[in-house]
Amino acid sequence: MPNRHRRPDPTEALQRLGVPREVAELCELPGVGPKIAADLYRRHRIATLEGLAEAVTRSPRTFQSYGHNTVDRWQRDLPVLLERRHSWPIALAAPQADAICAELANLPGVTAVSVTGSVRRLAAMNRCIELVVACADRSALDAWCQKAGAVTRMPADYPSAIATIRCTTGRGADELPVLIHVALPEAFAAALLQSTGDPTHVEVVTKLLAEAALTWSEVGLMHRETESIPIASEAELYARIGLPWLPPELREGESMLQSPSFLIQQTDIRGDLHMHSTWSDGSLTIAELAETAERMGYEYIAVTDHSQSLTIAHGLTPDDLRRQRSEIEQVRRRAKVRILHGSEVDILADGRLDFPDEVLADLDIVIASIHTVFTQSRDTMTRRILRALANPYVHILAHMHGRLIGKRSGYAVDTEQVLASAARHGVMIELNANPNRLDIWDEWIRKAVKLGIAIPIDTDAHEPGEMNNITYGVRMGIRGWLPKAQVPNTLSYAELKQRLDARRMQASVKR
């Protein structure tokens, strides 16, 4: 997918400032440009992220000339960037895992292949890609491994596999290990289940199998260590220990205690409430967004282009909004999907919204979000968001932490206070399905669910194909134990519109 968050190469600017090329890696840190990077090198002889992390941890006061909030942000972001050195974010790992899967599936002798491990569980960061391959004849697989430079003569990582092949993917310094667990066809389901769960999940399943006199085996399962039991599916294996089939996203820690029947599923989604058109920084027209939604079987969408202060994204003015509404009305007359006219309105530095209330009142849906001034203190940022939530025209708070997985941690904010305020004011908290964000994520989804907050799952689509990211959002919802009943874009259009209008009526009364 297009990377809207790519930063320019700082090498030439650093050379003009007379510092070594290797200092460029400091510019990976959000908020650090060539001038600050050069200053860190000249004053502190720091040229690497590791060096800066060590120095800031050892003596943060040494760097207070850069500002307390800046140093605080470095302390949050440096671990994210250092983890990225040996791990891939899910937005990179998942497509690459799928691509390798597709390549292996076409090999003669391969009867089944699947992504497994942390990528299958939708972990935000992944130290490796794992696959399970069922082989009746390994000759084609061995030839593929030889071409890939894989290490093949290694013992299996799991009792249900017959071997684990090790190779790498990626380029240069950004390589990631790939582990391919080879299983007999009759043991594929057992190997897939055993390699998907985290250690806690596998330990519990293994104990439950033991209680039934079953053990993992190269042929699937063994009963009393004498009778081999091939397993046709994960569901069959779970049934043997008295459990329902658990989605991979629930195979961590205490998540296996959840009942999946109540959780959100992709087939429940009836619309997308956050997307951008060519009116701001999107690449699809409103008509094209509607056509895409029709192909996906949606009942409705919300067009929510950026507001006026976000000039870098061609934010709309009130006059632009009025002209856009005219275009939406034209598209509505020929589109099958229902189209809500909204805006992703910036929360300004002091907590005011980027449009006055009289403009917000004319919109069908208002999404509030932060795109600028990330360096505010935790208290200031929290007050900023709380002020926005108190505005009765706001329906949804979007990507509330501002994180980019593997690139930045986001801004400092008291999430507990924000969630409590959202619950009090009846504001929805978005689960942004963009795999670079996935914000809010499982930890905070669970807390929001307990507070009764509605959580729409939206793609924030800007480019063709990005509406398909809804899959990532639904899967993160499952990780967060999100019930269908708390996802408003599972409602019919009439029910959703009634809900949005009810808040608008409340706003009119309060104002």
Q: CA dist 172 to 168, 169, 176, 424, Å? A: 11, 10, 10, 50
Task: Report which of 71, 67, 44 is spatially closest to residue 57, judged by C-alpha positions.
Answer: 71
Calculate the CA dihedral of residues 406, 412, 416, 418 and round it to 10 degrees.
-110
> For the chain, where do the domains classified as CATH 3.20.20.140 start and end?
266-510
Q: Amino acid letter at 287?
A: A
Is the CATH number 3.30.460.10 carried by domain 88-261? yes
pLDDT of residue 2: 47
> For the chain, where do the domains classified as CATH 1.10.150 start and end?
11-84
Is the CATH number 1.10.3470 carried by domain 11-84? no
Low-confidence stretches of the chain (pLDDT < 70) are 1-7, 153, 507-511
Q: Amino acid letter at 418?
A: V
Question: Which stretches of 138-253 are DSSP H helices?
Answer: 139-148, 188-196, 199-211, 234-240
pLDDT of residue 446: 98
- Residue 425's contacts (CB-CB under 8 Å, 6 or more residues apart) are 389, 390, 392, 394
Q: What percent of the chain has pLDDT over 90?
A: 88
> For the chain, where do the domains classified as CATH 3.30.460.10 start and end?
88-261
Three-state DSSP class for 208?
Answer: helix
For the domain 266-510, what is the CATH code? 3.20.20.140
pLDDT of residue 1: 44
Question: Which stretches of 310-372 are DSSP H helices?
Answer: 318-334, 357-360
Q: How far apart are CA 379 and CA 69, in angstroms?
A: 11
Q: How far apart are CA 429 and CA 435, in angstroms?
A: 17
DSSP state for residue 483 in the 8-state scheme: B
pLDDT of residue 189: 97
Segment 87-140, tens digit of pLDDT: 999 999 999 999 999 999 999 999 999 999 999 999 999 999 999 999 989 999
Q: What is the pTM of this model?
A: 0.94
